[in-house]
Structures are given as C-alpha cells and as structure tokens.
Amino acid sequence: MTLMLASNNMKNRLVIFIFLIISVLPIRADLVVQSTKITTKDGLPSSSVLYMMQDSNGFIWMGTLNGLTRYDGISFTTYHPHKGKGVSIADRRIYDINEDCHNYLWISTKSDLFSCFNLRTGQFVKIAGLDNNHYGRYFHAKDGSVWLWRGNYGVCRISYNKDNLTSVMYKKNNGRLPSNNSTFIGQGCDGVIWLGTDKGLARVTPNGLSTIVNSTDNFSNMANFGSVSYFATVSGKVFFYSYGFKQSVALPFMPGERLTGQFVVGSDWYLMTTRGVFRFDFITRQAVPDKQFFGRNIADGQTQTDNKGNAWIYNHTGNLWLVDRLTGKMQMFNVIPPKRMEYIDFERYHIVQDRNGYFWISTYGNGLFVYNPFTKQIQHYVAGTDNNTPLGSDFLQYVMEDRSGDIWVSQEFLGVSRITVLDQNNLRLFLTSPSAFDRSNTIRMISTSINGDVWVASRLGGLFVYDKQMHLKSKNVNERANIYAMKEDANGVKWIGTRGDGLQIGNDRYTNSTSDPTSISNNNIFCIMRDNKNRMWIGTYGGGLALAEKHGDKYIFRRFFSSDTNTSEQNVRVLMQDNNGMFWMGTSYGIYVFNPDRLIRNPKAYYCYNIANNSLSSDEIRCITQDHSGRIWIGNSGTDSAVVAVR
C-alpha cells in the first residue's frame, strides 16, 4: 500500500492537520467573526479607502485619497501620478474602480479624470480624446465597449480592436447629443444605447449611429420591460420606444415636485419623487400614486442597487428599505437613530449580499449591519474598546465580498477591516449555564444515532440528546463516567464507551478482567466503529483494538495490538473505514492501516506509518476522516499540513 502525500514543506513525510473547533454557546443564529485590520503600518498608502474591488486575477484593488493600490494578501503596490515618460494615473484621489471584459481597469478620480490600467501588461494606457475631457461616470455595454460621461463634457465611447483602444465623442456640436450635460446612460434589450441629457435623449445603435429622439425634456432615468424601453423625465413625463418614440403619461406632479429615484418590481416601475411614490404599470402604461407599497408615504426617496440587483431606498431619515428583486417583498430597517442623523451631512450606504444570502450594510455614522433574510435577524457591529469588534470606527466608506467569502470594510481614517465569518447559519448552544466555568460546557463527544438524534457528552460527565432540530430531548448530568464514544449496531442497540468505566451495550456493562482474556482489553473506551459488515470494533486507550463477537446472549472480545512490547500502539484514539474497506487506526505510535478480514486471519497483517519509519512528523494521532474526493485527512498533535491520497 502506498500513501501519496501533498505537503507544503516536507518531502516523503506525512504531515497532517485537522482543526476541530466546537463552539458551545447559547442557541441562536448569530455570526461568529474574526477580523484583520489593515492600516498604513501595513503599507496601505492612506487610512481613507473610498472604494475596493477584486480583479479577475484575485488581487484586491483599493482607491484611496493617496493613490491607487493593489494588495496581494501580503504587500501593497501603489500607483501615484508622476511626470516624465510613460502614462501614469491621472490623480491620487481615487473614487471608483471597475474591470471590463477585456481585463482593463477603469479608475475614476476626484478631478473627474479617468485612467485606464491594463491588467495583462501592468501598465496604464493612454486613450486618444480623453486628455481634456472630465468624466466621472462609467457604463459597460453588452458589446464590451465602455462609455464615460459626467457634467457638460458629453459622452465618450471607447471600443477595442485587439489591444488598441479607440474613442468616439458624442457631443452637441457634432450633432450626436441634444445637450452636453449628460444625466444617464442605459442600454435596451436590443443592445441600443440610450444617452439621457438635461435637454433631450439620443438613441445609439450598435454600429455607433446616433439619433436624437427628443430635444426638449430633462431625462432622469430609464427601465426596460420586455423588448420596450421606458424613460422618465425630472418633471414626471414617461416615454417609451416601440417602433418610434412616444409619450405614455405625465405624472400629476405638484409645482416644484421632481423625480429622485426609481426601481422595478415585476411589471411595475416605482418612481420616487420629492413628495412621494408613483407606480407606473408597464402593461397598462398608466401611473398612480402609491402609498401602500411601503406602508407609508416616502418623500425624497433615493435608490441604489446592491451586487445582486436588489433595490435599496433611503431618504435621510435613518431608515433603509430593501426591495427583493425576485419577490418584490419589502423590509425596513432603522440603521441610524434620528439624533445621530442630525450631524450626518448625507447618507452613505454600501450594501453587498454575500454568497450565503446575508446582507452586509455599511453606514456612515453607525457601524456595520448584517441581515439574515432567512431568520429575519440583524446584527449590529460598532466601534469600541472590545478587541473582538471588527471595527475601529462607525464611519464606514465601503463594503465588498471577495471570492473566499471574506468581507472587506473600509473605515474613515482607520484603514480596512477584513472580516472572516467563522460560522454562518449554524446553531450555538450551552449545555448548562452560560456562566459556568467548569467543564460542563466542554464537549468530549458528538455522535448521531440512526433516527437522527444528536448525542453530546461533556467532560464533566453530562450526556445530552437532541433531535434533528437541536431541541433537547433528554439529559443526564450525573453519568458514572465521561462518555467518549457512542455507536449503534445493526439492531439499533447503543454501544457507549466511557473513560474508566468500560463499555455499555444496551443494558449490559462490560469491563476488563485481568483473569479473562476474552473481556474488554481496557476500561478506557475512546472510539467505537461499525464496519461495512456490521461488525463492532472497539478502540481502547491502553488495551489496543478489540472485535466484539456474540457468544450466546453476551459478547466476548478478540484483542489486537495489545502486546506489552509496544504500549504506545495500545493507545487507540480513532478508527475510520475508508471507501475501499481499509481501516485507518490512529494511535500514540502513529497510523495503522489494514484490511480487517486479513487482520482477523493474521494479527500482523497491517501497515504502520510513524516517526520511526520517516512517514510522520508526530505519532500522536487525534482524528481521521475521508473527504468526497477520497482523500484522507488526519489530525495529530501539531506540525504541518498535508492531504493523503491512497493508492
């Protein structure tokens, strides 16, 4: 038998690890997190990070007030403007970073100058036509082109031809825009680009041809329903394009009322104004005031979308409303108390929904919130003197999730916190009182029975049985001895191994007798296993391995690895049968691997791996398991890490 090892630091050595962490806390579904704080002491060029993203190569990019910086998990590479040869970043104050489908980063700066960085070459790229134009907004079209706009500089379209970038300007003076003051860029289902301005709307076909369809109205935003594109103006007019540009309705705005935000739910388009909410029906193309959706009237509603397309609404009240993009269900949160809102100039929220469905909400002034949509529970993290808090400030500027599931939070003047979730969607419970400082809450054994019950034994002699939903069914805090193992046989009879009090099978107890070689070999039972032939094997600490054999209505025990010549191999902590039927036995003398049928015929038919034959870095084996790929994972007392492949 050959073990193929994948080790980080050693050759031809079985270097093993497994982390077994059992949290014993009150039943609830809170997150348990740990954080790593990254500051200027670690190489961050500025303590104020305004934007973060992870590129296609896995690097974390941060936009700071002192340059663009790339983090590889160990060190930073920072880019500043410089004079001389070569292209550099336009400004050191970074507001926004996006990666397009061609592996270019587009960096927006405070001076409304865009920079473009080629991730493949690691260099900034010069784009003709962008020298004297100030753009601060970015739109990535379906065909891979990039559109830049902001203010009175019109719109710039950037296309790719191999590694060459070409630009086309859309402005009033070349007849491609009704006004240079752009208000939005959107794309229809047919691939057409729509350019909204304060004095009209332009339609750009995929070949770049621009047609002005309106030259009078101040357009605010657009939405698509089916194959039709709809457009709303600041004054409340709604237009649509279907075989021509047509006006649908005019919302009954009061004098001075204007549009402030919008979101779509199913066939309804919700338009937020300075006075309230209107619902526009895409099917009937009619609009009515709507005070029912939120259960109240919401004035001055601002909207943004998270990374999954859910809508979030806020209006300087400290309230946030979540609108689920799929179901349309609404949930309200009060994230900033009214008193605190008095000294916050404007609300700044960033929201990301992580891979497990949790929402992470960063606020400017009241820390970080985590909302579990499945249990409707919300957790709140604020800065404080507690070293366990992931935050150093309540004034947060951005939040993102990386590919590993870690959450990155930037804090004003205090750098970045990288938050790792240690458990999520898990129950945690105390076995006894939360304030107990004895071993009554220290877990020694967890096992499951055939009916799904969970058996938990503490190191103070307690035995607790929970059902599948982790509701307590029974408990006994005064067992005769600590329970170290539990397994059911083929007939459903429970076998319970103890430390010092032998083995209990059903109502019968078996202990060691020095005068009886068929008795259990030691009273310290550390593990019990039922093999694929329904035989029951018992691992003892001090008496080796035992096979239980039925003799009448009782059991006798055949002993293995019980020779007095090697007492360390008698200390059996763990047994595991792999997918090939081989046994893996962890002892104080390393790992023993054997075919159980051959061992029964010949007690010397085994393989041994330990320090003595240069196969292990530690002989004290604590746990063994096999993953879905067939790899064996083994835990010992310390040392390095490896995966074991069996041949």
pLDDT per position as a tens digit, 560-603: 998 777 788 899 999 999 999 999 999 999 999 999 999 999 99
Q: For the chain, how far is it from start to end, CA to CA, in angstroms?
A: 6
Rounded to whole angstroms, how far apart are CA atoms 215 and 237? Answer: 14
pLDDT score of 7 = 40
Q: Can you give the three-state secondary structure of 230-265, one letter per residue?
A: EEEECCCEEEEECCCEEEEEECCCCCCCCEEEEEEE
| Token couple for 247 | 């006006």
Tokens of 265: 């739910």
Sheet strands side by side (includes 114-118)? 94-99, 104-109, 114-118, 123-125
- What's the token pair of residue 553? 């209505």
Specify which residues 539 forms β-bridges with: 527, 545
How much is the pLDDT for 484? Answer: 94
Report d(CA 30, CA 440) in Å as an integer.
22
Which residue bears the tokens 């075989």?
243
**pLDDT score of 384:** 82
| CA torsion angle 386 389 394 399 (round to 10) | 170
**Which residues fall within 8 angstroms of residue 168, CB to CB, at 6 or more apart?**
129, 156, 157, 159, 208
Question: For residue 407, which amino acid is it?
Answer: I
Q: Which residues pair with 524 in a beta bridge?
A: 499
Q: What is the CA radius of gyration of the chain?
A: 33
CA 423 to chain centre: 11
Show Cβ contacts of residue 578 under 8 Å, excluding neighbours closer than 6 positions: 584, 626, 630, 632, 646
- For the stretch 20-69, pLDDT in tens is 322 333 334 567 889 999 999 999 999 999 999 999 999 999 999 999 99
DSSP one-letter string for 286-318: EEEE--SSSSS---S-EEEE-TTS-EEEE-SSS
Tell me the C-alpha to C-alpha distance, in Å, between residue 526 and each of 484, 545, 559, 607, 614. Answer: 5, 10, 15, 22, 27
- Cα(63)–Cα(69) distance, integer angstroms: 7
Note the pLDDT of residue 424: 60
Query: In the prediction, which pLDDT does 350 show?
Result: 98
Which parts of the chain sit beneath pLDDT 50?
A: 2, 4-28, 641-642
Q: Is 477 helix (H, G, I), strand (E, B) or coil?
A: coil
Here the tokens at position 641 are: 């890490």
Cβ–Cβ < 8 Å for 245, 213: yes
pLDDT in the model for residue 5 = 45
State residue 329's pLDDT score: 92
pLDDT at 26: 34
- Full set of structural domains in the chain with CATH: 3-13+428-524+534-646 (2.130.10.10)
Q: 283: which residues sit within 8 A by CB, 6+ positions away?
A: 267
Q: Which two tokens stand for residue 453?
A: 């019950």
What are the pLDDT digits (tens) for 345-375? 889 999 999 999 999 999 999 999 999 998 8
CA angle 511, 512, 517 (to 5 degrees): 130
Q: SS3 of 174, please?
A: helix
CB 169 within 8 A of CB 156: yes
